[in-house]
Chain A
């Protein structure tokens, strides 16, 4: 029997995972916390509104006897929030979350954290393919990368201090989804895809479905350790453009950041520093470890892009995806929870 707490229920990952976990009979209870109301319809997940620093989490964990914490709420897109918000949510949020899970006689036995392959960075001194054990070759320059590294340090310390808790850290590659907002997907949605002239980096993706499956797989199976979550294969940026059928928008190799700054100020596209270094040096990660524990990917990196290209063709005909019509109504949800016969 599992009693699960999900952070970031209002985000795509939190909501989608809650939906998947609701299907599993072995899961007894799902509690989702977030600042905002959930954006997807949920059946038996209970929503608790908390502040972004997770101050009240300890009481929730103890009251609901949570044994598994699924920490999906880490910001990995530096264009989505100010660097203060990133720090607050990622670093302070995680710190409080781990403090809530580490009390004496805490019921928590499993912790699953969704991190990002951004922790490896992208630089000239990188190995071609990062294993989970590899260290990044340069020091992080952006707040998102810095905060994720700090989060991972906290998680590592937590795992060391709490040997009775099984800790899983998933490092997710660039996610391919039809209607997500990440620097990568924003770039791919432009009529001409940004690229740095003279560079053709090797990049790697993971399909959003595979990513959700991987998180659910980590809940189902006890997988202590660090795992990269990335599809098979790396391909050149020029081939990415070829598959989705778009031309390049060249940025100069010198003064790339200045050019990106102009694009940002003219509201064309926001290309953060960590994405610009990816466009220069690329990044590949080794996904063998997760496969060795039995996980199977549905999509390869190339497959992700063909799927994305199909979505683009559909969008060209029917327009952008419809906004979800679901709206969380507190009274209704509470009524339903009280009266649902289980």
Chain B
């Protein structure tokens, strides 16, 4: 009898311990034990809503399929599970590449992709909220680490930042500096590979003819472009605002390159700046070389 009691106690203890261990491993903030009350919305701790994504996917699909006629190549280079950092070139006055890549990955692989971007988005009323509900996350190193390492998600980043879309049409398809290689450090620390992506078509979908530096400074924006759409807008009368946002139907080709793995140990407090820059240059060169290759093969901006 006494022995029985002891056994039961020991068993309970083991179960308690298991539950504890499981709790420690849980990546998300939710604990299934306490979170039994019904939610009214499906917004996750990143601010992303699957309903909103579904709505966006449905609305955006015709644009992706019939306007940009996007073609994805090398999808086998994107891991089917586990974290990976997707790194692409960035272009178009109002960049059209992020939605194409996010839509493509989510449709083709059926797994979510979080878009890391400038936290400037968070400060814009309505748009900032829609951006977060649609899978946008502020590009904070802690956010990237949690996504990639703790949760094993896919994240998309444009290391050129605003310098990519801020460059003029004359400089199209020539990559800017890849920041200070922060994206490499994030991937190393998280222990995930980087998948370089070369995107062709965004540059021509909304060319940046020239920028007005004074205006950008006055509004606190990274750049203010002059686009062909803006020049044509006055001819559209009351539809002018729509016309400025209308992308030109450039043919999109998205090429996923072989993933770059890092031999460095994850979760280190510091990584050598030299190694980070070495890898950042490697990824940049891979994308640049692929872009030139794709441009060589392209016969028409509109038909590919």
Contacts and interface: CB of A to CB of B under 8 A. Distances in A.
B189 to A, nearest CB: 14
Contact of A202 (B34, B45, B140): B45
B268 interface: no
Contacts of A233: 29-30, 35, 45
Interface string B17-45: 00010011010011100111111110101
Contacts of A125: 119, 138, 140
B125 A128 contact: no
Contacts of A281: 122
B34 A298 contact: yes
Contacts of B31: 232, 291, 297, 300
Contact of B34 (A197, A242, A284, A300): A300
Interface in A189-238: 196-200, 202, 231-236, 238
Nearest to B16: A294
- Mostly, the A contact residues are loop
Contacts of A182: none
B166 to A, nearest CB: 20
Interface string A231-273: 1111110110011000000000100000000000000000000
A198 B37 contact: no
A288 B129 contact: no
B46 interface: yes
B59 to A, nearest CB: 20
Contacts of B29: 129, 232-234, 284, 286-287
B81 interface: no
A161 B119 CA distance: 39
A126 B46 CA distance: 12
B65 interface: no
A137 to B, nearest CB: 8
Contacts of A297: 31, 34
B123 interface: yes
Q: Which of B29, B119, B120, B146 has the most CB of A within 10 A?
A: B29
Contact of B140 (A127, A200, A232, A284): A127
B99 interface: no
Given A286-B29, A294-B20, A199 B41 contact: no
Given A127-B142, A299-B34, A303-B37, A239 B122 contact: no
A134 interface: yes
B129 A235 contact: no
A284 B45 CA distance: 8
Contacts of A129: 29, 45, 142-143, 146
A312 B26 CA distance: 33
Contacts of A232: 29-31, 34-35
B170 interface: no
Interface in A290-342: 291-292, 294, 297-300, 302-303, 306
A235 to B, nearest CB: 7
A162 B41 CA distance: 48
Nearest to A281: B122
Interface of A: 124-131, 134, 196-200, 202, 231-236, 238-239, 242-243, 253, 281, 284, 286-288, 291-292, 294, 297-300, 302-303, 306
7 contacts: A128-B146, A129-B143, A130-B142, A202-B47, A233-B29, A288-B24, A302-B39
Interface of B: 20, 23-24, 26, 29-31, 34-41, 43, 45-47, 119-120, 122-129, 137-138, 140-143, 146
Given A126-B140, A128-B142, A131-B142, 5 more contacts: A130-B142, A196-B125, A200-B129, A291-B23, A302-B37
